[in-house]
Amino acid sequence: VVIGFWIRSLVQRKNQPVLNLIIIGLAAGYLPWFFLQKRTVFTFYAIIIEPFMILAIVYCAHLFLKGSRDVKSARIVIALITLLVLICFIYFLPLFTGQVITYDAWHQKMWLPSWI
């Protein structure tokens, strides 16, 4: 992805320093763990990726707003996506905070077999 991004930047002759920083930060935080996907990786290891992930999301929202013909509709779409993320966060909050929950409640939150 990173190499493809830079090739595209060279072909289009556009240097975007903000996007370069975001891509480098994401790659530096994620690539060391990419080859260890079969092992347990705890959330606190990924905390260094969070600022770059937030920057990437905000940058994508900016591009979406900038490229939209109807800014009001684009803002509504972004607000709905943000609301869905907030609802999902609240749903998983007991797991994030280490609260004691029933086995059934825990099992409902295990959406993928690899999470168990």
pLDDT tens digits, residue range 26-70?
888 888 777 777 777 676 777 888 899 899 899 889 989 998 899
Residue 9 lies in a domain: yes
Residue 73 lies in a domain: yes
User: How many domains is the chain built from?
Assistant: 1
Query: How far is the C-alpha of 25 from the C-alpha of 77, rounded, in Å?
Result: 27
Residue 88 lies in a domain: yes
Query: How far is the C-alpha of 22 from the C-alpha of 49, rounded, in Å?
Result: 10
pLDDT band, very low/low/confident/very high, at 2 (cuts 50, 70, 90): low
Predicted TM-score of the model (pTM): 0.71
Q: Which domain holds residue 58?
A: 1-108
Residue 27 lies in a domain: yes
Q: Are 29 and 46 in contact (CB under 8 A)?
A: yes
Q: What is residue 100's predicted lDDT score, i.e. its pLDDT?
A: 93
Residue 60 lies in a domain: yes
Residue 56 lies in a domain: yes
Residue 116 lies in a domain: no
Query: How far is the C-alpha of 22 from the C-alpha of 26, rounded, in Å?
Result: 6
b vs e for 48-73, b when ≥16 Cβ sit within 10 Å of the residue's Cβ? ebeebeebbeeeebeeeeeeeeeeee
Query: How far is the C-alpha of 78 from the C-alpha of 25, rounded, in Å?
Result: 24
Residue 113 lies in a domain: no
Indicate whether 16 pLDDT > 90. no
